[in-house]
Amino acid sequence: IVDIKGGESEGVDRLGQTLTVRGWVRTLRIQSSVTFIEVNDGSCLSNMQCVIDSDAEGYDQVESGFIATGAAVCVQGVVVPSQGKKQKIELKIHKLVTVGKSDPSFPIQKKKVTREFLRSKAHLRPRTNTFGAVSRVRNALAYATHKFFQENGFVWIASPIITAADCEGAGEQFCVTTLIPSSKEAIDSPASSIPKTENGLIDWSQDFFGKPAFLTVSGQLNAETYATALSDVYTFGPTFRAENSNTSRHLAEFWMIEPELAFADLNDDMACATAYLQYVVKHVLENCKEDMDFFNNWIEKGIIDRLSDVVEKRFVRLTYTDAVELLLKSKKKFEFQVKWGCDLQSEHERYITEEAFNGCPDIKAFYMRQNDDGKTVAAMDLLVPRVGELIGGSQREERLDYLENRLDEMNLNKESFWWYLDLRRYGTVPHAGFGLGFERLVQFATGIDNIRDTIPFPRAPGSAEF
Ligand code: 4AD
Ligand code: MG
């Protein structure tokens, strides 16, 4: 359908042509003389309006009730001008084939349904306008991500999903268990090779073939190893956080984009983050016009203008100390009191991005490079209105002695980071990188308010059914 209706002429250049369209019925309107069938194939937001009268081949399928919302059809017809206001052309059907009929119980009918309801129908929600549009924009953002990094000489690196390292040191990891048949037997067998705790229960935290392993919270440490060999690299893959939080900005499984720049400092890192964001937003504005108009009209009024600002305007750079001062000076009452040294909360980020600048920094992770003041680290967050923290990044501590001290200070096990420390022993270089939560980027680009509606099958407390 996008091939037919997607161009400037909206299909008028196809008048008189005989075409075949395959897709799913969105609506059916049976009138006395003709029947209208709206077909969508997911290639774009627009439906193909099809008109069928009683002498067309396959008309009996309309009468027999096979053609209902949700049915899969293949229609062949000739392109004619449309009388309707919504489209310039329509398809006058010669031949209608029902590929798969739809039961009348199809849960997503024309009437307005809530997003909560659609979340419980995650297998069928891509058949709606909103989820079709989100899926296409998400796809465009992924494509633009690879395009940006490839054009700038970065090498894509696959970081592992299973790992023993806790990059963020926050202990928010899911642990991996092995459930191969032999280990199921072992559960019942007293001679089990699986480690047991004192009360005889299986210690699942030791169960990656007898060793502890977790789902990765970030591919950064692995990316650092490749950046200190191939220069600029990036990862783009799923990451996991065992955060039992029910917010509109957190998922248990989310995709992260993590570039790592060699021979680079925090300024280079910030420049890369802003150039990246401007590039992908511009790409979506230019290539997803129909979907973006839809979001602008139905999801978040004015989003196109706000995204255009991102492409054109400069980003405000604010130090942590200045951000804290700004918050202290504001007359706003915050739930969490601000004081220098504290982790900024969502309400603070919202104030900074939506009120102070009309539209922060985290507690320091062990790998962040210490500044000369001995108090702060070379880290940055990129905040955007509505979403808050979109990017977190830093210059990494490349000095072996500083890094070892830091691990000690934070009571982290130095031995388990032997390989990470090796990078500082053999040809260490200043390097920096960031992580961008891909679903938050989709939220930002589409105006969708709940992160669970930006990924096909959201993983959050209480949702892992599909
Ligand atoms: O700030 P975070 O925790 O940083 C890191 O993981 C670094 N290792 C990244 C790096 O420097 N390579 O996470 C980075 C970003 C956040 O800014 C946010 O956009 C996203 O990941 N994020 C989440 N998105 C959805 N659900 C969650 N639970 C998220 N936690 C973080
Ligand atoms: Mg962060």
Quick: pLDDT tens for 214-234. Answer: 999 999 999 999 999 999 999
Ligand nearest to the CA of 435: 1
For residue 52, give both structure tokens: 């069928």
Maximum mean pLDDT: which of 239-248, 354-363, 414-423: 414-423
- Which of 142, 143, 127 is closest to 23 using CA atoms? 127
Percent of all residues in the chain with a pLDDT value above 70, rounded to a whole number: 93
**Separation between Cα atoms, residue 422 and residue 125, nearest integer Å:** 48
Residue 360 banded pLDDT, cuts 50, 70, 90: very low
**Separation between Cα atoms, residue 134 and residue 111, nearest integer Å:** 20
pLDDT for position 402? 97
Backbone angles phi, psi at 184, to 5 degrees: -65, -40
Tell me the CA–centroid distance for residue 58 and ligand 2, in Å: 58
Q: Are 202 and 187 in contact (CB under 8 A)?
A: yes
pLDDT for position 361? 45
**Separation between Cα atoms, residue 295 and residue 442, nearest integer Å:** 12
Q: Scanning the structure block, which residue is given the tokens 């602008």?
A: 296
- Condensed to tens digits (0 to 9), the pLDDT of residues 4-24 reads 999 999 999 999 999 999 999
Which residue has a Cα nearest atom 11 of ligand 1?
434
Which residue has a Cα nearest atom 26 of ligand 1?
250
Which residue has a Cα nearest atom 17 of ligand 1?
391
3-state secondary structure of 354: helix
DSSP track, 224-276: HHHHHHHSSEEEEEEEE-------SS--SEEEEEEEEEES--HHHHHHHHHHH
Which residue has a Cα nearest atom 2 of ligand 1?
392
Q: Are 5 and 47 in contact (CB under 8 A)?
A: no
Whether residue 211 is predicted with pLDDT greater than 60 in this model: the reply is yes
Torsion angle, alpha carbons of 332, 334, 339, 343, to 10: -130
- Residue 260 CA, closest ligand 1 atom number: 12
- Write the CATH number of the domain with boundaries 131-176+213-318+360-453: 3.30.930.10
Whether residue 204 is predicted with pLDDT greater than 80 in this model: the reply is no
- Residue 258 CA, closest ligand 1 atom number: 12
Amino acid present at 224: E
Domain locations along the chain: 2-100, 131-176+213-318+360-453
Neighbours of 412 (CB within 10 A): 14
Which residue has a Cα nearest atom 28 of ligand 1?
250
Ligand nearest to the CA of 250: 1
In a mutational test of the pocket of ligand 1, which residue from 253, 440, 451 has the highest number of ligand atoms less than 8 Å from its CB?
440
**Separation between Cα atoms, residue 219 and residue 239, nearest integer Å:** 8
What single-letter DSSP state applies at residue 206?
Answer: G
Tell me the CA–centroid distance for residue 278 and ligand 2, in Å: 20
Whether residue 359 is predicted with pLDDT greater than 60 in this model: the reply is no
- Condensed to tens digits (0 to 9), the pLDDT of residues 253-284 reads 999 999 999 999 999 999 999 999 999 999 99
Which residue has a Cα nearest atom 14 of ligand 1?
435
Tell me the CA–centroid distance for residue 360 and ligand 2, in Å: 8
- Write the CATH number of the domain with boundaries 2-100: 2.40.50.140
Tell me the CA–centroid distance for residue 267 and ligand 2, in Å: 18
Which residue has a Cα nearest atom 20 of ligand 1?
437
- Residue 217 CA, closest ligand 1 atom number: 6
pLDDT for position 170? 79
Give residue ranges with CB within 6 A of ligand 1: 167-168, 218, 220, 241, 243, 250-251, 254, 256, 258, 362, 389-394, 433-437, 439-440
Contacts 24+ apart (CB under 8 A), 32-38: 35/62, 37/62, 37/67, 37/73, 37/75, 37/93, 37/96
pLDDT for position 210? 79
- Residue 451 CA, closest ligand 1 atom number: 25
pLDDT for position 142? 98
Residue 201 banded pLDDT, cuts 50, 70, 90: low
- Residue 220 CA, closest ligand 1 atom number: 12
Ligand nearest to the CA of 168: 1
**Separation between Cα atoms, residue 59 and residue 68, nearest integer Å:** 13
Which residue has a Cα nearest atom 1 of ligand 1?
392
Q: Are 7 and 23 in contact (CB under 8 A)?
A: no
- Condensed to tens digits (0 to 9), the pLDDT of residues 78-127 reads 999 999 999 999 999 999 999 999 998 999 987 788 999 999 999 999 99
- Which of 285, 215, 219 is closest to 243 using CA atoms? 215
Tell me the CA–centroid distance for residue 324 and ligand 2, in Å: 17
Whether residue 401 is predicted with pLDDT greater than 70 in this model: the reply is yes
Ligand nearest to the CA of 248: 1
Which CA distances in Å does 443 have to 319, 329, 449? 26, 30, 6
Q: What is the CA radius of gyration of the chain?
A: 27
**Separation between Cα atoms, residue 175 and residue 168, nearest integer Å:** 15
**Separation between Cα atoms, residue 102 and residue 96, nearest integer Å:** 15
- Condensed to tens digits (0 to 9), the pLDDT of residues 428-457 reads 999 999 999 999 999 999 999 999 999 999
Tell me the CA–centroid distance for residue 433 and ligand 1, in Å: 12
Whether residue 187 is predicted with pLDDT greater than 90 in this model: the reply is no
- State the ipTM, two decimals: 0.99
- 170 - beta bridge partners? none
Which residue has a Cα nearest atom 29 of ligand 1?
250
- Residue 433 CA, closest ligand 1 atom number: 11
Mean pLDDT over 419-430 rounds to 97
Question: Residues 341-367, buried b or exposed e (16+ Cβ, 10 A)?
Answer: eeebbbbbbbbbbeebeeebbbebbbb
- Residue 390 CA, closest ligand 1 atom number: 19
Between 225 and 188, residue with greater pLDDT: 225
In a mutational test of the pocket of ligand 1, which residue from 172, 226, 253, 254 has the highest number of ligand atoms less than 8 Å from its CB?
254
Whether residue 33 is predicted with pLDDT greater than 50 in this model: the reply is yes
Ligand nearest to the CA of 389: 1
Whether residue 185 is predicted with pLDDT greater than 80 in this model: the reply is no
- Condensed to tens digits (0 to 9), the pLDDT of residues 279-300 reads 999 999 999 999 999 999 999 9
Ligand nearest to the CA of 363: 2
- Residue 259 CA, closest ligand 1 atom number: 12
pLDDT for position 177? 80
Backbone angles phi, psi at 26, to 5 degrees: -90, -50
Ligand nearest to the CA of 247: 1
Tell me the CA–centroid distance for residue 7 and ligand 2, in Å: 41
- Strand ranges inside 241-378, DSSP E: 253-262
